[in-house]
Amino acid sequence: MLVRLLWKPLPESWPQAAPLRPARLRGLVARIRGMAAGVSRDGDVERRLRRGAMQAIVRESFQETVAEQDGEHRGPALFAEAWKARLAAFLAQESAEVTGWGEIIIAELDTDLGWSLYEAASRARAEAIARAVATPGRRRGADDGPTVSYEFSIAAGEEGSFGRVRYGVCEPCGVGLLKRISFSPEWQCCGFGTLALRELGTRHPGLTWYTTGQYAHTQGFYQRYRRRSTSPWTADQRPCPHL
């Protein structure tokens, strides 16, 4: 739903549109002028352009908030507030530069539509996070000695996969290796990493888990999880010679 609201053309029926303001399209990018060339500038055409421009502003504010995640590490509630504040800053301007659109004149647009779209998209994001589950695992490639490699995703309905988890297990040594865990930037700091690690312990109880040292920037997360988890996670780099 989040992708549909922010990246797909909005259905004409959603939501009920406010009356058009006086027609002034100077703020729309030349690409849109070209699309409209030769077409009668009736209310329907102008309405679609205005709706698309407002959707682009809401999307831009979302993407800028996502870009801050590496430094801010905001959880879902704080992310929503930061996104809201950034959108408010956009709408308070006379005009804004928006990726793919150029300069958009804010006064030409229906800001109520922008806030309705933000509320719907923010709610869709929160609901997707709440519905997220681990998919069934699948084996990856041929077995190598006593080890077996697996992969699963964290996903929710129509939003699809948020990220993947790849790992290997060595039952004779009683060890599991988390090889890679990755999530799309817009779904980071949503609790999916913790969900994935808990899933490993559930699917393979009794194993001692470790991660490689190549992802130094994520070691703090694993250390915090080790302290909270009942599953044995070790800081040793090579507790098993097979993995």
* DSSP secondary structure code for residue 21 in this structure: P
Judged against a pLDDT cut of 80, whether residue 199 lies above it is answered with: yes
Instruction: Provide mean pLDDT across the span 80-104.
Output: 95
Give the count of beta carbons closer than 10 Å to the beta carbon of residue 208.
15
Cα 32 to Cα 45: distance, rounded to the nearest angstrom: 11
Three-state secondary-structure class, residue 49: helix
Cα 84 to Cα 62: distance, rounded to the nearest angstrom: 9
Report pLDDT digits (tens) over 56-76: 999 999 999 999 988 888 999
Judged against a pLDDT cut of 50, whether residue 23 lies above it is answered with: no
Check residue 176 and give its pLDDT. Answer: 86
Which tokens go with 13? 């029926």
Report pLDDT digits (tens) over 148-166: 999 999 999 878 899 999 9
Which tokens go with 27? 């703020």
* pLDDT band at residue 177 under the 50/70/90 scheme: confident
Cα 43 to Cα 22: distance, rounded to the nearest angstrom: 10
Instruction: Provide mean pLDDT across the span 126-145.
Output: 87
Place of tokens 């060890």: 175
* pLDDT band at residue 90 under the 50/70/90 scheme: very high
Which spans in 8-149 are helix H?
30-36, 43-67, 69-72, 76-91, 111-131
Report pLDDT digits (tens) over 34-56: 555 544 455 678 888 999 999 99
Cα 108 to Cα 235: distance, rounded to the nearest angstrom: 57
Check residue 40 and give its pLDDT. Answer: 47
Which tokens go with 219? 């070691």
* pLDDT band at residue 95 under the 50/70/90 scheme: very high
Cα 222 to Cα 7: distance, rounded to the nearest angstrom: 34
Judged against a pLDDT cut of 90, whether residue 198 lies above it is answered with: no
What are the C-alpha distances in Å from 172 to residues 67, 84, 175, 182, 205?
Answer: 43, 52, 8, 28, 14
Nearest CA-CA partner of 14 in 1, 27, 32, 28:
1
